[in-house]
Amino acid sequence: MKQYYIFTYGCQMNESDSERLAHQLELAGYEGTDNFEEADLIILNTCCVRETAEHKIYGRIGELKHLKAKNKDLIIAITGCMAQKNQADMFKRAPHIDIVLGTHNLRHINEMVAEVQRTHKHQINIEMDNTVLHELEAKPTGTFSAWVPIMNGCNKFCTYCIVPHVRGREISRPIEAIVEDVKKLGATGHKEITLLGQNVNSYGLDFKDGTHFGDLIDALDGIPGIERIRYMTSHPQDMNKDMIDALGRSSNVVTQLHLPIQSGSNRILQKMNRRYTVEHYKELIDYCREKIKGLTLTTDLIVGFPGETEEDFQATLQLLKDIRYDMAYTFIFSKRSGTPAATMADQVPEEVKRVRLQALMDVQNEISLELNKAMEGETYEIIVEGPSRNDENVWFGRTSGNKMILFPKDESLSIGQTVKARVDKAQTWILYGTIV
């Protein structure tokens, strides 16, 4: 039996796409392997959100050249966002690869592999069809959790982001198809699902019949076996009170909300083409905290966007102090070729960016520690995920709010089991506890 290996880079959507590629390959008779050097087919499912990601992937592609030299029948395929973006250069830069497959064409992987075997020539398919979203089954890799794509593409065109150019326009899956997926997962022991979309709050807008993300949340409520429904990523522009009401009344939607704001300055938000104001964002947060009991709030922030002044940056610092996020994912602005922000005037010096990032992290770390300290002595329901990365005798699970609790390994527990844990000690990023 021929074997395949998939390298997956980037976001959760790419992880989900890899599961769909795996299912198709196994239908064609391939079997997965844990050793890429033994594979007959290697797929690199790529990311191009940042240039550093591209450099890393090109490095891996170069490393695979020696395997091709040893095994002339080895097939190497490049899929995902980088394949879509760099389509014209991929074979020129790395002639030892065989297939370049765009983000809208994963369903063609088996026929393209067959064509390489037949002709021994390069194959490419990067056509984008923004009118239909093809249904593809997946081979879930998680034992108790699973990804469930609800839509693809993005219509927002933030000036720093390449995603709309490589994923295409927003297309939503029918509610009935998503519900059927989740029912199957619940029936096969998956108790936690994560709904995926570039902007889940945009779900259903392309139907043009009033359907929105809240309708999907209502439809998924109470499906047997499903204890938790997570979702990512949200966008403030399309979020509204009806959606928040649905999140608040759901019996299994988690208490974590990841709502990226990117900057605390309205001037910078406008330059980013984010299409909302800080004031509107704060109103959304206030309503979320009113409707979602025990809300855990996280966000994304970019420092050093072109034209960001010290006043703009101080507005972002003040936003952190006002909202008090549980955690913030902070990034230094980096140019992404093909986006308007890459050629904007008034690029911020790298040293200024680094100083601002550290100041931002210092404020957020203090807030995160305070909020975690407030959890000490409290008991939370967690799903056991297994041993921690650094010590097999220390296991961990996550709360509904996605806080990680580490605890001593207990032989009576199994991965995927739902238990209660008391928080004994809090740190900035993790919690230490005891199973009760």
The pLDDT tens digits for 90-128 are 999 999 999 999 999 999 999 999 999 999 999 999 999
Name the DSSP class of 419: E
Residues 103 and 227 in one domain: no
Banded pLDDT at 219 (limits 50, 70, 90): very high
Last-in-domain residue among 336, 356, 373: 373
Residues 92 and 151 in one domain: no
Residues 338 and 213 in one domain: yes
Residues 96 and 153 in one domain: no
Residue 205 covered by a domain:
yes
Residue of 134, 137, 158, 155 lying closest to 146 (CA atoms):
137
Look up the domain containing 264 and give its range. 145-373
Share of the chain above pLDDT 70, in %: 100
Banded pLDDT at 87 (limits 50, 70, 90): confident
Residue 137 covered by a domain:
no
Residues 165 and 295 in one domain: yes
Q: Write out pLDDT tens, residues 265-286.
A: 999 999 999 999 999 999 999 9
User: Which pLDDT value is given to residue 18?
Assistant: 97
User: Which pLDDT value is given to residue 337?
Assistant: 87
Residue 138 covered by a domain:
no
Residues 75 and 162 in one domain: no
User: Which pLDDT value is given to residue 53?
Assistant: 86
CA distance 64 to 341: 34
Residues 292 and 416 in one domain: no
Is the pLDDT at 352 greater than 90? The verdict is yes
Residues 261 and 332 in one domain: yes
Residues 109 and 158 in one domain: no
Q: Compute CA distances 230 → 5, 192, 197, 383, whole Å.
A: 28, 8, 12, 13
For the entire predicted model, the pTM comes to: 0.94
Half-sphere exposure of 126 (CA within 13 A, CB side): 20
Last-in-domain residue among 64, 97, 125: 125
The DSSP line for 333-401 is: ----TTSGGGG-SSPPPHHHHHHHHHHHHHHHHHHHHHHHHTTTT-EEEEEEEEE-SS-TTEEEEE-TT
**∠ CA(376), CA(368), CA(317), 5° rounding?**
155
Residue 360 covered by a domain:
yes
Last-in-domain residue among 125, 156, 184: 125
- Token digits for 34? 């844990």
User: Which pLDDT value is given to residue 159?
Assistant: 98
For residue 110, the surrounding DSSP H or E stretch is helix 109-119
- Token digits for 99? 């297939």
- Per-residue H/E/C for 140-192: CCCCCEEEEECEECCCCCCCCCCHHHHHCCCEECCHHHHHHHHHHHHHCCCCE
**Rounded average pLDDT over 427-433:** 96
Residues 360 and 271 in one domain: yes
Residue 296 covered by a domain:
yes
**Rounded average pLDDT over 249-265:** 98
Tokens 């938790």 identify what position? 228
User: Which pLDDT value is given to residue 130?
Assistant: 84
Q: Is 11 annotated as a binding residue?
A: yes
Residues 188 and 76 in one domain: no
Q: Is 161 annotated as a binding residue?
A: yes
**Rounded average pLDDT over 31-37:** 96
**Rounded average pLDDT over 211-225:** 97
Mean pLDDT of the chain: 96
Is the pLDDT at 88 greater than 80? The verdict is no
Residue 383 near residue 397 (C-beta atoms within 8 A): yes
Output 194 or 390, whichever has higher pLDDT.
Answer: 194
CATH of the domain at 384: 2.40.50.140
User: Which pLDDT value is given to residue 297?
Assistant: 98
Is the pLDDT at 153 greater than 80? The verdict is yes
Instruction: Encode 316-349: b = buried (16+ Cβ within 10 Å), e = exposed.
Output: bbebbeebebbbbebbebbebeebbbbeeeebbe
User: Which pLDDT value is given to residue 89?
Assistant: 87
User: Which pLDDT value is given to residue 38?
Assistant: 95
Residue of 153, 163, 256, 273 lying closest to 202 (CA atoms):
153
Q: Is 48 annotated as a binding residue?
A: no
Residue 139 covered by a domain:
no
Banded pLDDT at 1 (limits 50, 70, 90): confident
Q: Is 288 annotated as a binding residue?
A: no
According to DSSP, the residues that pair with 406 across neighbouring strands are 396, 432
According to DSSP, the residues that pair with 256 across neighbouring strands are 296
Say if strands 3-8 and 394-398 run parallel, antiparallel, or are unpaired.
unpaired
Number of structural domains, the chain? 3
CATH of the domain at 102: 3.40.50.12160
Residues 315 and 414 in one domain: no
Is the pLDDT at 227 greater than 90? The verdict is yes
**Rounded average pLDDT over 294-302:** 98
Residue 265 covered by a domain:
yes
